[in-house]
Structure 1
């Protein structure tokens, strides 16, 4: 249980931890956010901001799931490629987050969901304090080896829907090995909503980031776009950087 009487570091801003959830279409971003809300809403004061190009479909999904008070779930319609609203011009998202924090002050955690995008999509460190990137086994076992800033440099990589691996012909364990190698040992969680241990691991990671935030020890890092990516050649994975 979070100690709400915790005194933040004197130089640390008293506001919610802002956690970005990013990844390609269909990887399970909304479902992961719903899962975190179910697991943590009794313990933490939470809010959610979603991003869609022309609709509020993700927000409506979360509201219908009953995981939070509907007023705590706000939708941003980006009107363009989703990554522009979380990285290039974060104004709409930043306003939504700040309004949410003002309306429900105090909040412990705000989850910001990117619209579905590609492997290069990452959040601006001016918008989020920490970010999760999702890939899923249904996207293919080679996705982790393809790399990209989200895979290689997000604070956490989630390999999602691992229970589907036998049905889509993917070697789950090898995909996790590839993901870990692509991240140079950075944290990777193999997640399935049907596996309580993996859900507990994800929840534990989020709570650990919140503690770092409250202690003033969490410094947002820029994960891209300059990031190494990986190619599998003759069974060997090589890393290198490109200029953009």
Structure 2
């Protein structure tokens, strides 16, 4: 048996787990935002299919008239999320950048953030002053977290189709995100998910950190998320 970098022991034929621990951020935090010198950067992460891109699209539609917005998307091998935003015309093409990570999505938002930093810098250089930059992670799991060297605040999105046990499972995304969004609440009766149980378990995991319930079918402007972002300005 031999320990890996995190103290976990492995047998002689096992490959050590090489992903950094989700609590370890190798980058220094950003300087304070809200000074008028740079945009507030908001990371949006969550499992595959939780509705991250649809949420980004809704926020852009709702806030583009009065805030200077830009978006960076992350996909492993494609620009699919950026293409979705472009097809739906939520922002002009020059306000959207696509990063192809070529690796596990959380690597590009936490471990090697250089491609995302380059994309943000290109947006700021070409567009001038911005109010908000949304950085959408590729679909990942409950361990996905953003580096504080990349974003100011993190939104984590889960959906009720994954079952009402998801908040109870915890993980850094659920427990530590600045805002937890429990999405697709309109599906709860169809999948047998109990929203009261999800609310209870989210509160137990998150303490005073806020959680909102959302259905973009019933609330296409994502009002509670929009209000939370505006409150950061």
Normalising by structure 2, we get a TM-score of 0.83
Structure 1 position 70 matched with structure 2 position 93: yes
Give the SS at the match of 2:222.
helix
Structure 1 position 179 matched with structure 2 position 202: yes
Residue pairs, 1:1-80, within 5 angstroms: 12=35, 14-80=37-103
The CA RMSD over aligned residues, in Å, is: 1.8
| Superposed CA offset, 1:133-158 (max 9, x none) | 01100011100000000100010000
Residue pairs, 1:123-162, within 5 angstroms: 123-162=146-185
Choose from 181, 186, 190 the match for 1:163: 186
Normalising by structure 1, we get a TM-score of 0.79
* Residues 192, 198 of structure 1: 8 Å contact kept: no
Name stretches of at least 5 consecutive residues in structure 1 with no aligned partner: 1-8, 211-244
Give the SS at the match of 1:196.
coil
Cα distance between partner residues in 2 of 1:126 and 1:10: 12
1:106 CA drift (Å): 1.2
Structure 1 position 200 matched with structure 2 position 200: no
Cα distance between partner residues in 2 of 1:198 and 1:67: 12
Choose from 93, 102, 106 the match for 2:125: 102
Aligned length, in residue pairs: 202
1:194 CA drift (Å): 3.0
